[in-house]
Structure 1
Amino acid sequence: MGELVDFFVRSRNFILFVLLEVLCFYFIINTSNYWSVTYFNTSNLYAAKVLALSNAANEYTHLRQVNSDLALENQQLNAQLTKLLQSKPTAPAEYQADSAFADRFKFVVAKVVNNTTQFANNYITIDKGTDDGIRPGMGVISPTGIVGKVKSCNRRFSVITSILHSEYLVSSQLVKLGETGTAKWDGIDPHLIKLDDISLTKPVSKGDSVVTSQYNSTFPPGILVGRVRTVGVQPNQTFHDITLNLATNFSNLSFVYVVENRLQAEQEQLEKQIETEK
């Protein structure tokens, strides 16, 4: 307490000066319209800037929750859109899809906790596992397109074989042309992928969208794989040399959706039985 009193005694002249300055400022503001308006406008300007900075900081701290909420909303929209498309496929008017078939795809949102893009065979780790109903063989997509397929799981985590993998193939279809080929990464650029097995007799257009075809049980048909970037000719081949811009940007992948095909096991069991009988 004595030290505090000594401080005020030593600084009494400076403290008196500050108090007199504040008092003078107060009288100037209250006795002059010009300075009063100037003070009001200036104080409001700086108060607005401070408030804007405070709001920006507050919004930034809530971005993680906002992203999580958006991912959950996209999960619900994906499920609704897929069910709608499966219930009204491109088919003769008299064809009616079975309700179980139309509702066979289920989506589970997950956060990416590890991701590689620099290797010939790349993998992704997510924070959902068998406790969340994830199992090997399920497809994985992002908000913008295809990602890969679940390779292995434990209770809380799963490892995904990325589409950026030298041995991963995806049955894909050109939207405008309607032709089906195979999308495969060539191990060079993580933003590009090849589309093979499209005949030279077919007129492929640059910019055409390429989506998952109906001839696989892992993904719903119509999930974007990429868009045609270049169309060339393979030497001594009867197929186009097609390069796609990948729909998914793997360098900033945050949330993914694991796709469960409820009828996949039933379909594959029957197909395996037929192969055995041949």
Structure 2
Amino acid sequence: MLQLVDFIVRNRFFLVFVLLETLSIWMVVRNNTYWGATYFNTSNYYVAKTLALSNSVSEYTHLDDINADLASENAHLHALVATLSQAKPLDAPAGYVPDSAFAERFSYTVAKVVDNETNKPNNVITIDKGTAHGIAPGMGVISATGVVGKVRFCSENYSIITSILHSQFMVSTKLVRSNEIGYAKWPGKDPDLIDLVDVSKYTKVYKGDSAVTSNQNSVFPPGIMVGKVESVEVNPNQTFYNIVLQLATDFRNLSYVYVVKNQQLGEQEQLKQRTETTK
């Protein structure tokens, strides 16, 4: 307390000057319309700038929460789209009545990517969800833009994904315009490009055509983007095109993924095994 009094006594002339200046400015602003309007406009401008900066900082610090919310919403939308597309497929024949359980067989779990490889011949991805969250080996993995890979190993809280950028990974893929089905397989070079093999050269293939997952797989819902046709070549000595796709998923900037669970996969696999044993 004594130090405060001593400070005031030592600086009394300066403090009186500041007080009188403040009082003078207040009286000018109060009694002069022009300077009053100028003061309030200027103060409002800087207050608005300060609030905008504060909001920007606050939004930046909450980006992780915002992205997580968007990823959860996308998972819900993926499930809805998959259900609607299977409820009555566009190419279904007249009189076809789909089973409601079949249409709703896919569910989605949001996961965050914690490690991602793109520069190896056999790339894998690590996510922050495991068996404790219902994840199991064999489940498909997609992003907001397209196919990512398939679950290979799981621990309680983490899973390893075999990326589509892996020499042993293939996915059944359909060209939208021609309805021709082939297999997307990575040649091990550019993480933005993938080959589409086993497409007959006796059908028409269009550059820029979309390539999506076909109905002929049990891991991914049909219609998930794989990529777009980048180039098409014909080898005279072969019966298939050499097609290169521009991948729909940007693996260098992969943050969130959706693990796809086929509720009826076990039933399908049991039938396949029974078929194999009776051959």
The aligned runs of 1:1-278 (5 Å cut-off) are 1-89=1-89, 90-234=91-235, 236-278=237-279
Instruction: Please give the per-residue CA displacement for 1:202-259, whole angstroms capped at 9, x wherever unaligned.
Output: 2211111000111111111111101111222347433222111111111222221111
Could you report, residue by residue, the CA deviation over 1:3-38 in whole angstroms, capped at 9, with x for unpaired residues? 333322322232222222212211221222211111
Give the residue type in structure 2 aligned to 1:59.
E
Which segments of 5 or more consecutive residues in structure 1 lack a partner in the other structure? Answer: none
**What number of residue pairs does the alignment pair up?**
278
SS of the equivalent of 1:56 reads: helix
Q: 1:13 to 1:98 in 2, by over 3 A?
A: same
Q: Percent identity?
A: 59
After superposing the two structures, state which structure 1 stretch, 41-50 or 19-28, moved more: 19-28
CA root-mean-square deviation: 1.6
Q: For residue 23 of structure 2, give the secondary structure of its aligned residue in structure 1.
A: helix
Output the CA distance in 2 between the equivalents of 1:73 and 1:252. Answer: 20
Distance 1:7 1:178, change over 3 A: same
- TM-score, normalisation: structure 2: 0.94
Query: For residues 235 and 169 of structure 2, what CA distance do their matches in structure 1 show?
Result: 21
Distance in 1 between residues matched to 2:190 and 2:3, nearest whole Å: 70
Tell me, which stretches of 5 or more residues in structure 2 are unaligned? none
Structure 1 counterpart of 2:265, which letter?
Answer: Q
SS in 2 for 1:38: helix
CA deviations over 1:124-168 (Å, ceiling 9, x no partner):
111111122111000011111111000011111111111111111
TM-score calculated relative to the size of structure 1: 0.94
Q: Shift of the alpha carbon at 1:96?
A: 1.4
1:160-193 residue CA offsets vs partner (Å, 9 max, x unmatched): 1111111111110000010001101122221221
Q: CA deviation at 1:47?
A: 1.1
